[in-house]
Amino acid sequence: MALPDCVRDRIKLPDVPAVVAGTRLTLFLSPDGELEELEPATARRRIAGTAPLVCHARALARRLELPGLRCHDVLELFAFVRPAQFAVPTARGLAETLGLDCSPGRAGEALALAHIAARLLAELAHGSDAEAATIGNAMAAAGWPWGPYVQAALQGVAPSARGFAAWRGLPEISEHAPPPPAGHQAVEQDEARRRLADLLGDASEPRPSQADYAAALTPAFAPRDREDHPNVVLAEAGTGVGKTLGYLAPASLWAEKNDGPVWVSTYTRNLQHQIDGELDRLFPAHEVKALKAVLRKGRENYLCLLNLEEAVQALPSQPSNAIALGLMARWTAATRDGDLTGGDFPGWLPELVGRQRTLGLADRRGECVYSACPHYHRCFIERSIRRAKRAEIVVANHALVMVQAALGGDDDTVLPTRLVFDEGHHVFDAADNAFSAHLSAAEGEELRRWLLGAEAGRASRARGLKRRTEDLITGDERAVAALAEALAAARELPGDGWHTRLGEARPGGAVERFLDKVRAQVYARTTRHQDVYGLETELRPPIDGLVEAGGLAATALRRLRAPLDRLRQRVLARLETEAEDLDSATRVRIEAIARSLNRRALVPLAGWIAMLDALATATPPEFVDWLEIERADGRDLDIGMYRHWIDPTRPFAQAVIEPAHGVVITSATLTDGTGDEEADWAVAEGRNGVPHLAVPAVRARAPSPFDYPAQTRVFIVTDVRKDDLAQVAAAYRALFLAAGGGALGLFTAISRLRAVHGRLAPALDEAGLKLLAQHVDPLETASLIDIFRAEEDACLLGTDAVRDGVDVPGRSLRLIVFDRVPWPRPTILHRARRKASGGKLYDDMLTRLKLKQAFGRLVRRADDVGVFVLLDPMMPSRLLGAFPPDVPVARVGLAEAVAGTRGFLHPDAPPESN
């Protein structure tokens, strides 16, 4: 960027060292340009007090054990100058986004830091951003290290009056009449093929399996002939078929022909955004896409403008929040849709400036005041809901679809007649979450806060039910009395400080007294006190006092539920008694309050009461109940009584599939791999609720076009003792080095991951390979995966979330190492399902599906090659059906697996001498 002198003069950089930390050594670039590699103790001494130039201050502070280290973090500057723009959170990632060079290795990154800062400040100096000037001044006053440099760059720019009040610049939502119901025109197979060909364009190679797949889905877009008899298609499409465009072809045709929406539901954020990208082919014009395609998530994902405004108003008493809120205000003014959990929000920002002042500004607890909110007509959530009502393709997630179907959600969205579930292999788990009930301290506290809002002595913005409803019930004495009665009864729910009270056996209300007994029973019965994930035990036989405490808690919850129900009815009654006088904004608000009372209070309370009643009688046969203490890092996080469906696809089939007219459930891994075709499909059907439907599903399969036998190798290592973590770590080290990075290490337990990480890190550091690890690095999983994807030779360690979220085409992922066979954890819930579903065969099926899913991450493109290694000599042959037919599987010693990995991935490299 060529800059005039007057602009160049305003770009000043801090006279501080630039620092990049490795696992072992830290690279230190002095202001004079001298590069040194320092041992940790020396690095700490040299860096302390310098406010160095870094990328991701928190990760550096963690590595160097310098908590609270003050830094000039280029990520913060990037978030200020280019809000709502994606960048991988590394110096290399930022340099790439800014179009700057970055030489290989850590030295290249250290040198790039100053160039990144200079480029960002130059962009500021080049423009005349009045909002940036106002916000920058406030952030400088709050002590933001970049503050003086931003002020210098913006010198002469008059500050704006808007500043932090980003909501003022957002466009108003346009209102429309509700759309008419969708039609019932079918989509023919030939039409679907032609639409797919149009989407692909002339330049694309024809992919017959993709066209066959698109055609095979059309039964789901045919009209339904009988109520509660939906047309369901289960479609397995191997990796590389081009599933997304394959289903968008018939879905978009159906939406056009019938003036109705099709919802595409996914499990992972990653896929949602991938689909969003593919929708560009369907709607190449940006304005058309904005109208016809919408990403729809639960309200807890979006920034609430009222929360932001209230946080900004509190700045005079909490001035240090100005840095985080300044960055949030910049993002709010620039974001496409206000989505805090994906889209254009920098996922790494909460790691830098805190979750409370970033993600904590979402409407996480359903405290919306709807049309009483001054920002209602600019609200991101309302905008997404309205847009989804008029869109042709709505991309949602399994959790939202299931909650919407089962409880009606917080808004008046009606699920469409056509649904496509991508990542269908996650339907079972999503249903398990959506249809379960947890009477726990954390859930009880959440409900108490929703009802009572901020209680005395707590610094919180929480808006209670009184504040949300009182103007709606003024003058209605019965409603006012019901509200008062409910709020008094809510004090029997767990409140702030329950951790301490339960730890000291001095519970505070009826529900805490019950949870105190739960805790006592779990500790009395468990045999696994050291379990880091959680402790659990059966309900029966109960310890003394558990059933009695449960009975009293049920009575307290009934005393809460009854007045809430009355309040809801009184509020709803206004819709009839004042039908002629109510303005539409109040009407909308009444409906919204009634819905959220139902979803957030009445339904969970009914579930909890039923669970407590079962303590004295019996658990209904379709459920499994247990008591549990959830833990993380050896600390108790939550305590409660849990109820899950033994088969959660039953309520899923009833609430989600049956009311629809057509449903596609698709994935690369739907069927099992026993070799018995019929049994394998039966698993796919059972995991997706088909046996609970009145009509069978259509089965479709499109094989992967990849040549797996040529592109992949599987090694099962027979001489590494999986319980000896030193051996396991040594195996990881040798394999990762043989691959030269590009390796993903998957673990069945966090403790194993951490133990291996500690032993592995120095060797990889020495080899110049970046090592990233979930549960170790202070970065979100999505950020870790972004870095892994961007760096061709990085290594990543992770557990289930990484396995599910990794979609890394190309060389960046060429080796997967699993620490042992991923058998299911032997929980009470698993035991109940195992008993109901075939015992050992059920374990095998779950494990095969996990392995199949993990293997599927390896090859994402036709030219990818990859090696899959399992460090478990006890891997039974009956699980080998997890891998595609004819893939060479070798049971070998570690040395052979290492040589095989090196030879397969680097065929031209000379063999290792030792």
Q: Cα(123)–Cα(11) distance, rounded to whole angstroms?
A: 10
Q: Which 53-72 positions form the footprint of ligand SF4 (CB under 6 A)?
A: none
Q: Contacting ligand SF4 (CB under 6 A), which of 376, 450, 818, 904?
A: 376
Q: Are 649 and 431 in contact (CB under 8 A)?
A: yes
φ/ψ (deg, to 5) at 553: -65, -40
216 counts as binding ligand SF4 under rule CB under 6 A: no
DSSP code string of 302-336: BB-HHHHHHHHHTTTT-GGGHHHHHHHHHHHHH-S
The distance of closest approach from Cβ of residue 694 to ligand SF4 in the complex, given in angstroms and rounded to an integer, is 40
Nearest to 379 by CA among 538, 589, 694: 589
The distance of closest approach from Cβ of residue 171 to ligand SF4 in the complex, given in angstroms and rounded to an integer, is 14
381 counts as binding ligand SF4 under rule CB under 6 A: yes
369 counts as binding ligand SF4 under rule CB under 6 A: yes
Bridge partners, 28 (sequence order):
19, 36
Q: Contacting ligand SF4 (CB under 6 A), which of 368, 396, 546, 655?
A: 368
The distance of closest approach from Cβ of residue 523 to ligand SF4 in the complex, given in angstroms and rounded to an integer, is 41
Q: Contacting ligand SF4 (CB under 6 A), which of 314, 373, 698, 841?
A: 373
DSSP code of residue 362: B
Residue with tokens 């929708």: 279
Give the count of beta carbons closer than 10 Å to the beta carbon of residue 156: 9
Going from the C-alpha of 267 to that of each of 185, 420, 427, 664, the distances in angstroms are 29, 12, 8, 15
Q: Contacting ligand SF4 (CB under 6 A), which of 73, 129, 236, 363?
A: 363
The distance of closest approach from Cβ of residue 588 to ligand SF4 in the complex, given in angstroms and rounded to an integer, is 11
The distance of closest approach from Cβ of residue 347 to ligand SF4 in the complex, given in angstroms and rounded to an integer, is 21
305 counts as binding ligand SF4 under rule CB under 6 A: yes
393 counts as binding ligand SF4 under rule CB under 6 A: no
Q: Is the Cβ of residue 8 or residue 336 nearer to ligand SF4 in the bound state?
A: 336
DSSP code of residue 774: T
Q: Is the Cβ of residue 66 or residue 304 nearer to ligand SF4 in the bound state?
A: 304
Q: Is the Cβ of residue 345 or residue 747 nearer to ligand SF4 in the bound state?
A: 345
Bridge partners, 232 (sequence order):
663
Q: Is the Cβ of residue 375 or residue 644 nearer to ligand SF4 in the bound state?
A: 375
Q: Are 737 and 767 in contact (CB under 8 A)?
A: yes
Q: Cα(382)–Cα(380) distance, rounded to whole angstroms?
A: 6
From 101-109, 241-249, 367-375, 415-423, span contacting ligand SF4 (CB under 6 A): 367-375
The distance of closest approach from Cβ of residue 496 to ligand SF4 in the complex, given in angstroms and rounded to an integer, is 23
The distance of closest approach from Cβ of residue 462 to ligand SF4 in the complex, given in angstroms and rounded to an integer, is 12
Q: Is the Cβ of residue 370 or residue 652 nearer to ligand SF4 in the bound state?
A: 370
The distance of closest approach from Cβ of residue 50 to ligand SF4 in the complex, given in angstroms and rounded to an integer, is 42
Q: Is the Cβ of residue 332 or residue 671 nearer to ligand SF4 in the bound state?
A: 332
Nearest to 499 by CA among 644, 638, 664: 638
Q: Is the Cβ of residue 371 or residue 827 nearer to ligand SF4 in the bound state?
A: 371
547 counts as binding ligand SF4 under rule CB under 6 A: no
Q: Is the Cβ of residue 379 or residue 714 nearer to ligand SF4 in the bound state?
A: 379
Going from the C-alpha of 96 to that of each of 76, 387, 791, 902, the distances in angstroms are 17, 34, 12, 30
Non-local (6+) Cβ contacts of 440 within 8 A are 515, 630, 638, 639, 640, 641, 642
From 34-42, 71-79, 139-147, 379-387, span contacting ligand SF4 (CB under 6 A): 379-387
Give the count of beta carbons closer than 10 Å to the beta carbon of residue 504: 8
The distance of closest approach from Cβ of residue 592 to ligand SF4 in the complex, given in angstroms and rounded to an integer, is 9
Q: Is the Cβ of residue 103 or residue 460 nearer to ligand SF4 in the bound state?
A: 460
The distance of closest approach from Cβ of residue 129 to ligand SF4 in the complex, given in angstroms and rounded to an integer, is 25
592 counts as binding ligand SF4 under rule CB under 6 A: no
Amino acid symbol at 149: Y
Nearest to 66 by CA among 40, 85, 103: 40
Dihedral over alpha carbons 155, 161, 164, 170 (to 10 degrees):
-120
Q: Contacting ligand SF4 (CB under 6 A), which of 379, 744, 782, 859?
A: 379
Q: Contacting ligand SF4 (CB under 6 A), which of 95, 304, 479, 795?
A: 304
From 49-57, 261-269, 373-381, 490-498, span contacting ligand SF4 (CB under 6 A): 373-381
Going from the C-alpha of 13 to that of each of 90, 114, 521, 750, the distances in angstroms are 19, 8, 61, 42
Length of the chain: 914
| 282-301 footprint of ligand SF4 as x/- string (CB under 6 A) | --------------------
The distance of closest approach from Cβ of residue 332 to ligand SF4 in the complex, given in angstroms and rounded to an integer, is 11
The distance of closest approach from Cβ of residue 25 to ligand SF4 in the complex, given in angstroms and rounded to an integer, is 48
Q: Are 909 and 760 in contact (CB under 8 A)?
A: no
Q: Is the Cβ of residue 27 or residue 305 nearer to ligand SF4 in the bound state?
A: 305
The distance of closest approach from Cβ of residue 596 to ligand SF4 in the complex, given in angstroms and rounded to an integer, is 11
Listed in sequence order, the DSSP H helices in 82-127 are 91-98, 105-126
The distance of closest approach from Cβ of residue 569 to ligand SF4 in the complex, given in angstroms and rounded to an integer, is 24
Q: Is the Cβ of residue 248 or residue 369 nearer to ligand SF4 in the bound state?
A: 369
Query: H/E element holding 682?
Result: helix 677-686
Give the count of beta carbons closer than 10 Å to the beta carbon of residue 274: 16
The distance of closest approach from Cβ of residue 407 to ligand SF4 in the complex, given in angstroms and rounded to an integer, is 18
Q: Is the Cβ of residue 300 or residue 792 nearer to ligand SF4 in the bound state?
A: 300
Number of amino acids touching ligand SF4 (CB under 6 A): 13
Amino acid symbol at 648: P
Which three-class secondary structure state does DSSP give residue 715? Answer: strand
Which three-class secondary structure state does DSSP give residue 852? Answer: helix
Q: Is the Cβ of residue 341 or residue 704 nearer to ligand SF4 in the bound state?
A: 341
Q: Which long-range contacts (CB under 8 A, 24 or more apart) does 456-465 make?
A: 458/496, 461/307, 461/310, 461/311, 461/314, 462/365, 462/367, 463/367, 463/369
From 49-57, 121-129, 371-379, 600-608, span contacting ligand SF4 (CB under 6 A): 371-379
Q: Is the Cβ of residue 379 or residue 763 nearer to ligand SF4 in the bound state?
A: 379
From 135-143, 362-370, 439-447, 714-722, span contacting ligand SF4 (CB under 6 A): 362-370
DSSP code of residue 450: H
Q: Is the Cβ of residue 304 or residue 875 nearer to ligand SF4 in the bound state?
A: 304
375 counts as binding ligand SF4 under rule CB under 6 A: yes
The distance of closest approach from Cβ of residue 359 to ligand SF4 in the complex, given in angstroms and rounded to an integer, is 14
Which three-class secondary structure state does DSSP give residue 743? Answer: strand
306 counts as binding ligand SF4 under rule CB under 6 A: yes
Rounded to 5°, angle at Cα 911 from 910 and 912: 115
How is residue 860 written in tokens? 């994402």
The distance of closest approach from Cβ of residue 412 to ligand SF4 in the complex, given in angstroms and rounded to an integer, is 14
From 124-132, 363-371, 432-440, 572-580, span contacting ligand SF4 (CB under 6 A): 363-371
708 counts as binding ligand SF4 under rule CB under 6 A: no
Going from the C-alpha of 483 to that of each of 447, 480, 574, 600, the distances in angstroms are 15, 5, 16, 15
Q: Cα(71)–Cα(50) distance, rounded to whole angstroms?
A: 8
The distance of closest approach from Cβ of residue 379 to ligand SF4 in the complex, given in angstroms and rounded to an integer, is 3
From 41-49, 366-374, 514-522, 564-572, span contacting ligand SF4 (CB under 6 A): 366-374
Give contact residues for ligand SF4 (rule: CB under 6 A): 304-306, 363, 368-370, 373, 375-376, 379, 381-382
